[in-house]
């Protein structure tokens, strides 16, 4: 299927606009996009090449999935009901059999799932990321793609992972949709030298560093036994912590580590569904991190550990868990949850000036939500943020735009055919599932 021609300008008339601007305004009016950027919000807009009657829709800034492994879609359900060590044992065994072709097939399926649920940007950590980049380019989403870095003796990659990451940065730097970055897997597979080299490659390339940290108590205990330091403290001591980095999970933190992450401007990707399903134990200190000044966004992690890529589900579950754990219904309000899924996600990526809200000059990344869907009743302006956080279904997402280009229209992908994506994903799953170790 060929990519659709983007209209030079589009105006959406009479929509309920969930602006996510500094005042968090929700208003009824027009939204105009020209050459990919928003040129009018709220007031009656000038005519455009394309006119859309949006009176039956809310328009919402696109979600930012701040941590995933999108190419793992053929592995959904392959390692259920295992603790992290057992889960990783299965995944590492299957990963040894993956090919670049099946990674691309998995990435296309995962991107389709994200687009159809309102996600317009995602932060990824995997290998064969050129295949993921091609899927991003093909389907029209924004991909912030981290090349997985491990100690050379612990990886199935050919060559030195840090040098592979450097080459990946060179191949994709400057692409309008693909932002390449460096992604050390975690302290359990990266030694001091690997971490320092990964940080140097990221700094030389002017890009992000993305990694897992303190996901489980076992990870923290084993690293402390080995080094005498907890992971976050150790990363600070070797000079890794700093701005332009995003730590995924961050469940098992002390007060000192919370302060370190905040003062070093390290972003945190909170993955509640994955943490709960893998029984990471405890509850990530999201409230404390935010109070300390850290930026926290939502990530889904992969479908092998979630098993969904829906940001609507992450908001809902993430909010309820924090409220229940603290016996305080006021923490993480619906507005704060929506902020984490939009504005805070773009801040993690260093793109808050360009993405994350419906404001003049920003990129036209947003989705149209059907106000007549049963999960949106009553479709009142004062209730829409609550509905997004607590009740809205993915099926209510009607159309999705990235840089003003329609990538989903009326729940149909614009740049690809789902049936062909599904067939390729099923074919990849056939060989991968046959290679999994038995219980």
CA distance 212 to 237: 17
User: Who's near 320: CB < 8 A, 6+ residues apart?
Assistant: none
pLDDT at position 10 is: 97
Does residue 381 lie within any of the structural domains? yes
Q: Is 31 in the same domain as 116?
A: no
Mean pLDDT, the chain, whole residue set: 96
pLDDT over 70 for what percent of the chain?
99
223-275 tens-digit pLDDT: 999 999 999 999 999 999 999 999 999 999 999 999 999 999 999 999 999 99
Q: Is 106 in the same domain as 220?
A: yes
196-205 tens-digit pLDDT: 999 999 999 9
Structural domain count of the chain: 2
Residues 306/264, Cβ–Cβ less than 8 Å? no
The answer to whether the predicted template modeling score (pTM) of the entire model surpasses 0.95 is yes
pLDDT band at 4 (very low <50, low <70, confident <90, very high): low
pLDDT band at 86 (very low <50, low <70, confident <90, very high): confident
Does residue 24 lie within any of the structural domains? yes
pLDDT band at 328 (very low <50, low <70, confident <90, very high): very high
Q: Residue 158: which CATH number? A: 3.20.20.140
Does residue 423 lie within any of the structural domains? no
pLDDT at position 3 is: 58
Task: Please name the residue ranges forming H helices in 264-310.
Answer: 272-277, 286-292
Q: Is 232 in the same domain as 180?
A: yes
For 121-130, what is the mean pLDDT? 97
Question: 198: helix, coil or strand?
Answer: helix
Q: Is 158 in the same domain as 306?
A: yes
Question: 201: helix, coil or strand?
Answer: helix
pLDDT over 90 for what percent of the chain?
91
Does residue 43 lie within any of the structural domains? yes
For 1-17, what is the mean pLDDT? 82
Does residue 428 lie within any of the structural domains? no
CA distance 436 to 431: 9
pLDDT at position 1 is: 52
Domain endpoint, select from 304, 319, 348:
348
Q: Residue 14: which CATH number? A: 2.30.40.10
Q: Is 249 in the same domain as 340?
A: yes
Question: Is residue 24 left, alpha or beta, with left meaning phi > 0 and alpha meaning psi from -120 to 50?
Answer: left
**Burial (0-12, 13-18, 19+ Cβ within 10 Å), 192:** middle
Q: Is 226 in the same domain as 375?
A: no
Q: Is 210 in the same domain as 310?
A: yes
For 370-385, what is the mean pLDDT? 98
pLDDT band at 342 (very low <50, low <70, confident <90, very high): very high
In which domain, by residue range, is 46 found?
9-61+362-413
Q: Is 37 in the same domain as 186?
A: no
Does residue 357 lie within any of the structural domains? no
Q: Is 56 in the same domain as 205?
A: no
pLDDT at position 2 is: 53
CA distance 418 to 100: 20
Does residue 424 lie within any of the structural domains? no
Q: Is 257 in the same domain as 395?
A: no
- Encoded tokens for 349: 């990526």
Task: Please name the residue ranges forming H helices in 278-417.
Answer: 286-292, 311-326, 334-341, 343-348, 384-390
For 139-151, what is the mean pLDDT? 98
pLDDT at position 93 is: 87
410-435 tens-digit pLDDT: 999 999 999 999 999 999 999 899 88
pLDDT at position 84 is: 79
- Encoded tokens for 233: 């403290």
Beta bridge partners of 370: 57
Q: Is 43 in the same domain as 129?
A: no
Q: Kind and range of the H or E element at 389?
A: helix 384-390
User: Who's near 404: CB < 8 A, 6+ residues apart?
Assistant: 6, 7, 10, 33, 34, 35, 36, 37, 363, 364
pLDDT at position 83 is: 83
Does residue 129 lie within any of the structural domains? yes
Residues 20/356, Cβ–Cβ less than 8 Å? yes
pLDDT band at 297 (very low <50, low <70, confident <90, very high): very high
Q: Is 50 in the same domain as 123?
A: no
pLDDT at position 296 is: 98
pLDDT at position 182 is: 98
Residues 248/269, Cβ–Cβ less than 8 Å? yes
Domain endpoint, select from 301, 320, 348:
348
CA distance 417 to 109: 11
pLDDT at 439 over 80: no
């Amino acid at each position: 299927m060929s990519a659709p021609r983007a209209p030079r300008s589009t105006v959406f008339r009479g929509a309920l606009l969930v602006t996510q601007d500094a005042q968090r305004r929700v208003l009824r009016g027009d939204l105009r996009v020209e050459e990919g950027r928003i040129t009018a919000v709220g007031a009656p807009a000038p005519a455009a090449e394309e006119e859309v009657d949006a009176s039956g829709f809310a328009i919402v800034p696109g979600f930012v999935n701040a941590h995933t492994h999108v190419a793992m879609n053929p592995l959904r359900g392959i390692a259920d009901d295992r603790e992290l060590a057992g889960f990783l044992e299965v995944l590492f065994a299957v990963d040894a059999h993956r090919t670049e072709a099946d990674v691309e097939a998995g990435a296309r399926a995962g991107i389709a799932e994200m687009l159809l649920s309102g996600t317009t940007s995602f932060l990824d950590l995997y290998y064969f990321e050129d295949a993921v980049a091609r899927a991003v380019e093909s389907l029209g989403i924004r991909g912030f793609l981290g090349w997985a870095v491990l100690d050379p003796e612990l990886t199935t990659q050919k060559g030195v992972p840090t040098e592979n990451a450097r080459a990946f940065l060179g191949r994709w730097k400057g692409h309008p949709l693909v932002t390449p970055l460096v992604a050390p897997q975690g302290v359990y597979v990266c030694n001091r030298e690997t971490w320092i080299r990964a940080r140097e490659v990221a700094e030389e390339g002017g890009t992000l560093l993305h990694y897992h940290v303190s996901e489980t108590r076992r990870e923290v205990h084993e690293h402390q036994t080995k080094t005498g330091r907890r992971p976050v403290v150790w990363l600070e001591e070797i000079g890794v912590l700093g701005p332009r980095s995003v730590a995924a999970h961050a469940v098992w933190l002390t007060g000192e580590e919370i302060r370190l992450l905040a003062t070093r401007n390290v972003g945190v990707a909170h993955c509640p569904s994955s943490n709960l399903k893998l029984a990471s134990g405890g509850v990530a200190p999201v409230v404390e991190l935010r109070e300390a000044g850290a930026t926290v966004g939502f990530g889904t992690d992969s479908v092998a550990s979630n098993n969904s890529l829906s940001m609507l589900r992450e908001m809902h579950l993430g909010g309820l868990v924090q409220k229940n754990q603290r016996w305080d219904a006021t923490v993480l309000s619906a507005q704060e949850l929506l902020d984490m899924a939009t504005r805070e996600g773009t801040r993690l990526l260093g793109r808050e000036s360009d993405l994350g809200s419906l404001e003049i000059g920003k990129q036209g990344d947003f989705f149209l939500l059907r106000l007549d869907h049963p999960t949106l009743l009553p479709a009142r302006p004062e209730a829409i943020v609550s509905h997004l956080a607590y009740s809205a279904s993915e099926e209510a997402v009607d159309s999705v735009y990235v840089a003003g280009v329609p990538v989903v229209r009326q729940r149909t992908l614009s740049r690809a055919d789902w049936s062909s994506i599904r067939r390729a994903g099923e074919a990849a799953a056939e060989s991968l599932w046959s290679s999994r170790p038995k219980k």
